[in-house]
Amino acid sequence: MLDDFLFRAFLGGVGVAIVTGPLGCFVVWRRLAYFGDTLSHSALLGVALAILLEVNIMLAVFVISVLMGLALLMLRQIAPLSSDALLGLLAHSTLAIGLIALSFMTWVRVDLLGFLFGDVLAINQFDLLTIGLGGTVVLLVLKIIWRPLFAATVSPEIARAEGLRPERAEVIFMILMASVIAISMKIVGVLLITALLIIPAASARCFSKSPEQMALYSVLAGILSVIVGLQGSLTWDTPAGPSIVAALLLLFIVSTLTMPKIRSIKRKYSNDAGDGAMS
Amino acid sequence: MTKSDSSTLIELKNAGVKRAGKWLARGISFSLHAGEIVTLIGPNGAGKTTSAKMALGLLDLDEGTALQKTGLLVGYVPQKVSIDWTLPLRVKRFLNLTGSCSETEINAALAMTGTSHLLNSEVNTLSGGEFQRVLLSRAIAKKPELLVLDEPVQGVDNAGEEAMYNLIETIAKTLNCGVLLISHDLHFVMSATTHVICLNGHICCSGTPRAVSTSSEFRTLYGSKISANLAIYEHMHDHTHGTDGSIEKLEEMAENSNENKEITTDA
């Protein structure tokens, strides 16, 4: 079955969605959407370098993303600019340099659109292995740092005072983000990775009662959207990455519209139960 | 305060921290033992939070030394916590924030602050006073050896303030923990305080609440008008504390102490 390119596409997409769900929750909680954008934009520079140095693309993207994250942490200390200005600076300059570098390499025929919007049908068995292994490692590490990272998200001061060393968890989280960008680039493309992080979490929010539940629902939302999006892409011959993002948006709209209804039904139900107890 | 034995939880010796060439706090020395309540008071920017952070070992000192008991279990109530609305967080999960607590520990901690009924409420929907109590519950759930409270009565009205101070005193006694209390409220210092340290970049004066309120340094720092009004809050122990510390009892206690409150002013 792994020989079937369609099956590989679905498997890779679902694998990526399982990883982006929990990580995306932290992106939403910590308001890091633009940070994710910056890392993913710099991925194109990683692609250019990978082609130039003839190394694995995912590896190069991962390394560049980690370096970007570290550069950002350092610039924050020394540059007289706010975080969002720094992020914008890094995002667009690395994207530009990446595009220029690719245009110089006339000897290789680069499918630029594939990198920008994903090339899900070109996923090979090695990519699947990387997604599987890389994704498992990312999730395991996230599970280990979950408590300090979550505590630091709620209140860095409490986490620090009670000895959880949140700074360490935050640096590890940045490395996990870089890994996720590297493994999901082929599915949705450089420009759309942040959507795969944010929209499942946003759709899951209304239905969740605890952070852990939200992470789980985000995974389900991501898987559903990947399947619907890829199916749509096959049916109407649309690009895969944008189709997945469109499916995510659709799911978000549906979840937002149905939520108030569910909530009012619940309230009515609990009120009835309350009245019953009173009488 | 001179003893330095196994009961010492934190100790600062002539500690100081500077940022961009300016000392945030300098020459800070104090120690805190199990069962003691130390209150840090001072105007804004006096280095209260800096001193507390130095004592907890959260800042690298530029001068002096900071000692903590090894493996010190700290419960911290920060000055401000804002929970993003995108976070689905209920009180029960919030109490497990920095370490996992058993059901019994959670229930006991909530009962102590009279917030048992909030167990399954979303943290975002709590009122200011409720949230303060839940923050306190979270800090005490693991039975810390040291409780650090950064302005715990912020945004609480006068009656609530008294109830809160009562509660802190009860908690300190029940858990037999040390308490480091930071307060910008110059009018009000708990009488249960073992030691008041009045800061203004350095230790300006320190001692028992009564000694500080009458000291000339204190008056120079805050002017005679404020220091004349320094109330040392003492509630009369003509009642027993309920072991469950339920909220009804606390309000009752606050009312009682309102009537019996003894305000010591220094004219």
CATH number at residue B19: 3.40.50.300
Mutual orientation of helices A166-188 and A33-53 as an angle, nearest 10°?
60
**pTM score:** 0.82
Dist. CA B93–CA B100, nearest whole Å: 9
- State percent of chain B over pLDDT 70: 77
| B88 contacts on A by Cβ (under 8 Å) | 205, 208-211, 213-214
In a domain, A188, yes or no: yes
In a domain, A97, yes or no: yes
Q: Residue A205 has which token pair?
A: 């929010």
In a domain, B112, yes or no: no
pLDDT digits over A155-198, tens only?
A: 988 998 898 888 899 999 999 999 999 988 888 888 888 999 99
In a domain, B63, yes or no: yes
Dist. CA B267–CA B265, nearest whole Å: 6
pLDDT digits over A165-174, tens only?
A: 888 999 999 9
Amino acid found at B86: T
Residue ranges in B2-148 assigned as alpha helix (H): 48-56, 91-95, 103-112, 128-140
pLDDT digits over A107-132, tens only?
A: 777 777 888 888 877 888 888 998 99
Dist. CA B261–CA A152, nearest whole Å: 41
Dist. CA B167–CA B169, nearest whole Å: 5
Domain containing residue A93: 5-192
User: In the predicted model, is pLDDT for residue A84 greater than 80?
Assistant: yes
State whether residue B83 sits within 8 Å of chain A by CB.
yes
State whether residue A29 sits within 8 Å of chain B by CB.
yes
Domain containing residue B218: 1-73+144-235
Closest CA–CA distance from residue A213 to any residue of chain B (Å): 9
State whether residue A28 sits within 8 Å of chain B by CB.
yes
pLDDT of residue A102: 84
In a domain, B8, yes or no: yes
In a domain, B245, yes or no: no
Residue of A nearest to B52 (CA): A161
Which residue from B54, B49, B47 is spatially nearest to B31, judged by alpha carbons?
B54
Q: Where are the beta strands (DSSP E) in B114-262?
A: 146-150, 178-183, 188-190, 195-199, 203-207, 231-233
Count of domains in chain A?
1
Half-sphere exposure of A212 (CA within 13 A, CB side): 8
Identify the residue among B68, B90, B98 best suited for mutation to test binding to A, counting A beta carbons within 10 A and taking the highest: B98
State whether residue A158 sits within 8 Å of chain B by CB.
yes
pLDDT of residue B99: 86
In a domain, A242, yes or no: no
Token pair 């005193």: residue: B169
Dist. CA B200–CA B196, nearest whole Å: 13
For strands B22-33 and B8-19, give the pairing: antiparallel
In a domain, A279, yes or no: no
Token pair 């520990």: residue: B105
pLDDT of residue A150: 94
In a domain, B210, yes or no: yes
State whether residue B263 sits within 8 Å of chain A by CB.
no
Max mean pLDDT range (A23-27, A41-45, B213-217, B220-224): A23-27
CATH of the domain at A28: 1.10.3470.10
In a domain, B100, yes or no: no
Is residue A24 within 8 A of residue A198, CB to CB? The reply is yes
Please answer yes or no on whether B76 and A150 come within 8 Å at the CB atom: no
State whether residue A153 sits within 8 Å of chain B by CB.
yes
pLDDT of residue A75: 84
In a domain, A237, yes or no: no
In a domain, A114, yes or no: yes
Overall average pLDDT of the A36-46 stretch: 89
Closest CA–CA distance from residue A170 to any residue of chain B (Å): 15
Please answer yes or no on whether A210 and B98 come within 8 Å at the CB atom: no
Count of domains in chain B?
1
In a domain, B91, yes or no: no
In a domain, B117, yes or no: no
Mutual orientation of helices A5-29 and A211-236 as an angle, nearest 10°?
140
Identify the residue among A25, A153, A154 best suited for mutation to test binding to B, counting B beta carbons within 10 A and taking the highest: A154
